[in-house]
Amino acid sequence: MMDTMTDIIHIERITKIYEGVEQSLRGTKLEWKGPALWLRNLAKAVRLTSSAAPPVQALHDVSLAVRPGEVFGLVGPNGSGKTTLIKILAGLIRPTSGCGEVAGISLDHPQEIRKRVSYVSTTGWMGLEWPLTAEENVRFFAALCGMPAALTNARTEEALRDVDLWEDRGKYPSQLSNGMRQRVILARALLFHTPVVLLDEPTVGLDPVTARAMLDLIRGPLRARGQTILLTDHQSAEMEVVADRIAVLGTGAIALLGTPDELRARLRHLTVIEVHTEEMDLPMEPAPGCVAAAEHTERPGALGVRVWRIHARRSHDALESVLAWVTQLAGRVVFLAESSPTLEDVLVLPTDLVQLPDAPTESPAQNQEPDQEAGRSPCSQGEAGKAGEERKKPGQASGRAAQKKVEEP
């Protein structure tokens, strides 16, 4: 249920379709490109470099509500629609269909939305003015946005101190690390105490120490001001630390939504068993019935180290059964551990395993259905358009990206 009277971000049935490149350019001068620039008089040659590209659906029927002051995370693999959604919320692009509001402004008015939103992009530091120092970059941005000089002086120092760059304010972008450049961009966003801050993968490309410092900034100054923060990332461990609630995007739709604890609870019927072996062959027997999913990776080196990560259904003999299956006559086990599933496991396991065995969850469409009587619905006003896999064979290479469910014999 979504209460549009209190949600600072409220969207319903958002869909975004990018038209095929050639279809959108057909009939313009840009249709002639590549070798066609030199062969424009040969119709057949044009077809070699300008085939009609099909449209791409980046988002499909996405409904979402974010509360004021909340840190809300969007997680998903590359191509799942995270950046498209955050750009719609920033007023940078329009949805193909659907409706909603950001900070009380309809998606029909993107220019007004941009006045109430601070947006930080992953590659934002590429937009820095390299002849200017870090402090001058922040001041320049404030001037472009029409901020009065007296307020600019105070806000610039405040923002640079918040991102721990005041001592380095006189350095040029070429003298700063990638993480420090990212912090300059974040300082620009901190200039304006907007109700909503959108961070698109703010820690990408940063070392662990710098990434943790960036997360501390999100948990600290931004949250202390009462600003609502929506950030995207594909690193579940980082999102798990900072976000109040997380939406998992998959192929343009919301697959899961809840707090980190609620998402992990979906795998409480599983246990994670990690086994490291040396100079040991793969098991020839099928996996025991308790094994829900298994993967292994080979580490290079003379010792022939193989790392197993196995998800087994919880039982009193699960660990013993898994160990008996993995262990062979030759070789040795050098590491064995059992732990509870993490948020990363929720993201990488097959969808049919990410369910509570005794309490099936509602589908995303059911969870996202707006209650028209609970509050004012943007869609009602027409504001923004129309509303088991096969078991792994012995000797088969395996990695996290190629994880497969193991059939029960």
Which 3-state string (H, E, C) describes 203-256?
Answer: CCCCCHHHHHHHHHHHHHHHHHCCCEEEEEECCHHHHHHHCCEEEEEECCEEEE
Give the pLDDT confidence score for residue 332 in this predicted structure: 93
Give the pLDDT confidence score for residue 379 in this predicted structure: 56
Give the pLDDT confidence score for residue 239 in this predicted structure: 84
Within 10 A of 3 (CB to CB), how many other CB atoms are there?
14
Shared domain for 225 and 285, answered yes or no, is no
**What is the domain extent for residue 244?**
9-263
Q: How many residues does the chain have?
A: 409
Task: Please name which of 193, 182, 191 lies closest in space to residue 155, comparing C-alpha atoms.
Answer: 191
Shared domain for 124 and 207, answered yes or no, is yes
One-letter identity of residue 215: L
What's the token pair of residue 221?
């100054």
Shared domain for 48 and 127, answered yes or no, is yes
Domain of residue 39, CATH code: 3.40.50.300
Shared domain for 238 and 332, answered yes or no, is no
Give the pLDDT confidence score for residue 212 in this predicted structure: 80
* 328 Cβ neighbours under 8 A, 6+ residues apart: 280, 281, 283
Shared domain for 221 and 298, answered yes or no, is no
Domain closes at, from 204, 229, 263: 263
Question: By the 8 A CB rule, do 252 and 58 touch?
Answer: yes
Question: By the 8 A CB rule, do 191 and 159 touch?
Answer: yes
Shared domain for 305 and 238, answered yes or no, is no
Domain closes at, from 217, 248, 263: 263
- In sequence order, the β-bridge partners of residue 10 are 65, 101
Sign of torsion, CA 332 338 342 348? positive
DSSP assignment string, 294-327:
EEEEEEPSTT-EEEEEEEEE--TTHHHHHHHHH-
- The number of domains in the chain is 2
Give the pLDDT confidence score for residue 20 in this predicted structure: 67
Domain of residue 328, CATH code: 3.30.70
Shared domain for 119 and 234, answered yes or no, is yes
Domain assignment present for 321: yes
Shared domain for 239 and 274, answered yes or no, is no
Give the pLDDT confidence score for residue 124 in this predicted structure: 54
Domain assignment present for 375: no
Give the pLDDT confidence score for residue 40 in this predicted structure: 52
Domain assignment present for 381: no
Domain assignment present for 145: yes
Q: Tell me the pTM.
A: 0.75
Shared domain for 331 and 185, answered yes or no, is no
Domain assignment present for 357: no
Domain assignment present for 322: yes
Whole-Å CA distances, 250 to 62, 217, 253, 257, 404 = 11, 28, 5, 12, 17
Domain assignment present for 24: yes
C-alpha torsion 228→233→238→243, nearest 10 = 30
Shared domain for 291 and 227, answered yes or no, is no
Give the pLDDT confidence score for residue 162 in this predicted structure: 84
Shared domain for 161 and 42, answered yes or no, is yes
Give the pLDDT confidence score for residue 371 in this predicted structure: 44
Domain closes at, from 209, 240, 263: 263
Regions of the chain short of the pLDDT cut 70: 1-5, 20-53, 122-126, 355-409
Shared domain for 250 and 299, answered yes or no, is no
Burial class from Cβ neighbours inside 10 Å (0-12, 13-18, 19+) for residue 285 reads exposed
Domain assignment present for 358: no
Element (H, E) at 281: none
